Amino acid sequence: MTKGNSTKITDELYAYMLAHNPPLDAVQRGLVATTYEKFPDAAGMQSAQEQGPLLAFLVRLTGARHIVEVGTFTGFSTLSMAQALPPGGTLIACDVSEEWTAFGREAWEAAGVADRIDLRIAPALDTLRALPVEPHIDMAYVDADKESQIAYWEELVPRLRPGGLIVTDNTLFHGTVLDESTTGAGAVVRAFNDHVVADTRMESVLLAISDGLTLSRKRA
């Protein structure tokens, strides 16, 4: 197999990339900084800075009005998607932590989008299974515990409208998906990736964005 042209992303090149993407606004920047200040050991769970503008772009590109997010943490990705929703659009945000999401609530209020976000503190599978069973979701973003990824997928796909999009984060999982002897989250993500490729209901691409980002579109 021959790899195409590739570019090593240095710190300087990463800064250049961010400078040539839509800039984060003051609320987004503040939330990113607060997350690293308050939760330095867990801040790696926050979506990468370039993913905020990308998620907003995908919301506008798909015309999404009904979004489901599985894994909210401190709410940066939630904020980015909610800001891109059209009038009347809604985002159901699933998480289990009142502590983490409290910082998101403050940012959503400051940005004027709190009324678009329905935060549900409960196991995400319970929340997903309580949603209407007919296709109604326009877009979903999954960035939560890896052990439940296939279960989340199987709850979301039937509820996704034709042409709808599922965005799944961490699908390269620090490169551990290459190690067939690995156990734990790396093995789980590898199994999820195989599950996605085999699902004929969807068409998917895995991109080397941050820690791997898979975009999956429901076939008509």
Per-residue pLDDT band for 7 (boundaries 50, 70, 90) equals confident
The pLDDT value given to residue 2: 63
| Chain segment 116-143, per-residue pLDDT in tens | 999 999 999 999 999 999 999 999 999 9
The pLDDT value given to residue 181: 75
Tell me how far CA of residue 38 lies from CA of 26, 30, 76, 105, in angstroms.
Answer: 18, 12, 14, 15
Residue 165 has pLDDT above 80, yes or no: yes
Rounded to the nearest 5°, which phi and psi values hold at 165? -125, 135
Residue 105's CB is within 10 A of a number of other CB atoms, namely: 17
Arithmetic mean of pLDDT, 36-43: 94
Residue 4 has pLDDT above 70, yes or no: no
Do 168 and 140 meet the contact criterion of CB atoms below 8 Å apart? no
**All domains in the chain, ordered by first residue:** 11-42+49-218 (3.40.50.150)
Residue 2's CB is within 10 A of a number of other CB atoms, namely: 3
Residue 193 has pLDDT above 80, yes or no: yes
Residue 56 has pLDDT above 90, yes or no: yes
Helix axes 76-84, 26-38, angle to 10 degrees: 170
Residue 9 has pLDDT above 90, yes or no: no
Rounded to the nearest 5°, which phi and psi values hold at 155? -80, -35
Do 60 and 85 meet the contact criterion of CB atoms below 8 Å apart? no
The pLDDT > 70 percentage for the chain reads: 97
Tell me how far CA of residue 104 lies from CA of 38, 49, 83, 141, 214, in angstroms.
Answer: 13, 15, 13, 16, 24
How is residue 213 written in tokens?
């980002």
